Structure 1
Amino acid sequence: MKLTQIEYFIAVCECGSFSRAAEKCHISQPGISKAIRELEEECGVALFQRNRNNIQITRRGRILLEHARQFQNHYRNLCQVVRTLGTGKALIRIGIATMRGNTIFPQIHGAFLKSHPQITIETVEETTKVLYELLDRQEIDFALCVTNRLPEEPSHCLLLRKSYLKLFVRQDHPLAQKEAVDLLELRNIPLVLFSDHFDQTAYIRRMFAQSGVHPWILHQTTQVFTILEYIRSEGAAGFLTEEIAQQEPDLHALSVRQFQPAFITLDWNKDLHFNPAMEEFVRFVKKGLPTV
């Protein structure tokens, strides 16, 4: 059994097809099919049920997948240990939730590297949903996630901060005289939102639906700059995090009565084996909690 076979097997399970797995692994489809077939012959079991249009992992395949992921994680930890011995630099892989995670991570990142120059941090930015998937697959060590509900037993996460969404308008906007607003009052207000793949937008749409309001969405974007430009030049209203209010003093930020606070958390996989660098990172973040 070869490491590449394990990697290809995991990729096929995650992608749900040989063609997509081959593309992900940068190998030809016949090559990945041959590797899986040889793995099945070595194990003496069928790992996939092959149909004309799709494949399904078998019960024995699921058992192998669980152990394969554990093996892959142990192998990565071993490589990290060897790399640390060779270079003196340890590695931590951190995922950051799009938007709100970036309001807190830069100061953690900079302060940690300043006091721990021997540790390298690799980052990836994704939605919270994708970050949880990466944690489950142990492809990252930590994730700065944004959630509206904390786990009942937070044995594998730290609460870093509460964060509120605000409604931003120009100072001459009709709503600028208010400090708080109800979603019902926004029925006829042009709004600019982030694109639908943002967790923030999904939450806003859900709150509007629960209030029985069909919002007037003027524009959607992936950029904070674009939202701010629409607010300033078009007189639209836009939802941004409260942290941005401190950076845009010429705009007025209102609370939204239906919105609950979001929790920015540092999460990790409860089954992950911590190396010394990861333990030090958690200690560092805990120590800084009152000020971050």
Structure 2
Amino acid sequence: MKLSQIRYFLEVAKCKNITQASKKLYVSQPTITVAIKELEKELEIDLFHREKQRISLTDDGRFFYEEVLEIVENLDNLVEVVKDRKKESSLKLGVPPMTGAFLFSKILKGFRSKYPHINLEIYEHGTIKSRELLQEEELDLAITTSGYSKPNNTNFIPILKTSYGLYTSKDQPILETENTLNFEDIKKVPLILFNKGFNINQKVIEEFEGIGVKPNILLETGQIETAKQIISEGLASGFIIKECIKDSDGLIEVPFKNPMSVSIGVEWKRKKYQSSSVESFIEYLKNNYELNSI
């Protein structure tokens, strides 16, 4: 019995289709078919019912699936443990540009002081993109914002609760009103948005769609300094997390109805084994911030 045969069997059982399993495994259909037949011959049982294009587990196949699935998962976890022991400690972390300047720099300084042996690889991404990379296990952890389509298989620990403000330059016409504004009031105002990898982009677009209006978007960017510069020059207005704004930026916050509250925190994919580097980062946050798991 070969491990490859078992992996092919498990994937076919999950997909209930050899063609789909073949695409996911990047293995030819004949290879999978032969491997499963050899496995059935060795076990002296039929693992699948085969009816034209349909395939389903037999009672024996279902029993074998449940037993062998745990074994393979434990083996995969063991491989990760061994790799973690042998390689230099490292951590791939996604950080959004908007929170990097005012929040992550403080976390980074303290963490590196306590764990100088852990090599941090930092990647700038918005929450949406970071969550995609967490699912693909291209990132170990990510600084994200809560509230918009969080996956069910990730954990999130908040670090800071804040909100987005609508900012403009001092000579913008929208400052001429004393009323608290809403999205209807700014439908014609030129806006600068953070790009589609950011939750705030999705939120603003949804708000405008809710009132049946297409927003007047001047530019989408992934850089906080670019956004602030364009706003300060009176070319557009934009939604920015309040802690990102300094007095020296010269930006004015416009009174806005129902401010968009958000929690900023650290997120990671839930799985049986976490590397010691991931555990160290999470433990550091728990010991240095007042946090409550969500």
TM-score by length of 1: 0.67
Q: 2:79 is matched with which residue?
A: 75
Counterpart residue number, 2:118: 119
Separation of aligned partners in 1, 2:242 and 2:55: 45
**Structure whose alpha-carbon radius of gyration is higher:** 2
Partner of 1:147: 146
Contact 2:182 2:256 in 1 (8 A): yes
Report the equivalent of 1:272. Answer: 272
Q: CA deviation at 1:243?
A: 2.4
The match for 1:26 is none
The equivalent of 2:172 in structure 1 is 173
> Percent of pairs identical after alignment?
20
* Whole-angstrom CA distance in 2 between matches of 1:6 and 1:288: 42
Which residue does the alignment assign to 1:235? 235
- Residue 283 (structure 1) shift: 2.4
Q: How far has the Cα of 1:17 moved from its partner?
A: 7.0
Shift of 1:209: 2.7
Structure 1 residue 163: Cα displacement: 2.9
Q: Please, what is the CA RMSD of the aligned residues?
A: 4.5
Matched, 1:209 2:209: yes
Question: What secondary structure sits across from 2:227 in the alignment?
Answer: helix
State the Cα distance separating 1:211 from its structure 2 match: 4.2
* Residue aligned with 1:186, SS: coil
Contact persistence 1:187–1:213 (CA under 8 A): yes
Q: CA deviation at 1:117?
A: 1.0
What SS is found at the alignment partner of 2:185? helix
Structure 1 pair 218–276 and aligned structure 2 pair: CA distance change class (3 A): closer
Structure 2's unaligned 5+ residue stretches are: 41-46
The separation in 2 between residues aligned to 1:41 and 1:125, in whole angstroms, is 47
> Taking structure 1 as reference, are residues 226 and 277 closer, same or farther at Cα in structure 2, changes over 3 Å only?
closer
Shift of 1:158: 1.7
Q: 1:102 aligns with which of 70, 93, 100?
A: 100
Q: Which residue of 1 aligns with 2:256?
A: 256
Q: Check conservation: 2:111, 2:284, Cα contact below 8 A.
A: yes
For structure 1, the 5+ residue unaligned runs are 23-28, 84-88
2:44 is matched with none
Asked if structure 2 preserves the Cα contact closer than 8 Å seen for 1:100 and 1:146, the reply is: no
Change in Cα spacing, 1:167 to 1:65, as seen in structure 2 (3 Å) is farther
Normalising by structure 2, what TM-score? 0.67
Q: CA offsets, 1:133-163, max 9 Å, x none?
A: 5545655443322112799x9x943210123
Note closer, same or farther for the CA distance 1:36–1:255 as it changes in structure 2 (3 Å cut).
Answer: farther
Match of 2:287 in 1: 287
Q: 1 CA distance for matches of 2:279 and 2:20?
A: 37
Quick check: 1:207–1:258 contact (8 Å CA) kept in 2?
Answer: no
